[in-house]
Amino acid sequence: MRGLEVINAFKDRLDTYPMEQLRYSSAPGVWSMGQVYSHIVDVALEYLDKIEQCAISSVDQPLGKTEAGEELIERGGFPPIKIKLPPGMEYSPNNEKNKAEHNRDLDDLLSKMREWDARIQLINPNYKIRHGGFGWLNVREWFDLIEMHTRHHLRQQQELEQAWKEIKLS
């Protein structure tokens, strides 16, 4: 699944969830499905901000990616493991949104992504913004990171769907 397709896949699944399921957390510290949706949009918007920073830059950045950044780009995605943020970086995404709000957020995100997708090839690939873990990324790498990050959460989506099925069967 590439590009905007992964965001659309999440959007397509949204209407299949009752509100109770969107807000259900199977255990303390485990995100609900709605929190996963909020997180995906929050991170994508953050990365779109980095894309805009690359676009308005006028300085060639000679520094490159970290080893982790090189591995990520080479692999084309995150490893199939759960990633825990270091202490102090974790947060709890919004769990109060309804389906209409999630749909609106996803539509807005998709619109912004389409706009940038049409412009990326015009932006100097040497204009880069630093990512805390992956090093200096250019506009294409930031854009691809949106897709990689969102795709990484597909497994979490499946796990949450399974947990919901299990409580409904019990």
Tokens of 65: 């990616």
Predicted confidence at residue 90, as pLDDT, reads 65
pLDDT digits (tens, 9 = 90+) for 66-90: 999 999 999 999 988 887 766 666 6
Q: Does 2 have pLDDT greater than 70?
A: no
Where does 4-23+30-161 sit in CATH, by number?
A: 1.20.120
Q: What percent of the chain has pLDDT over 90?
A: 84
Q: Grade residue 57 by pLDDT with cuts at 50, 70 and 90.
A: very high
Residue ranges of domains in the chain: 4-23+30-161
As a whole number, the mean pLDDT across the chain is 93
Q: Grade residue 1 by pLDDT with cuts at 50, 70 and 90.
A: low
**What average pLDDT does range 111-130 have in this prediction?**
96
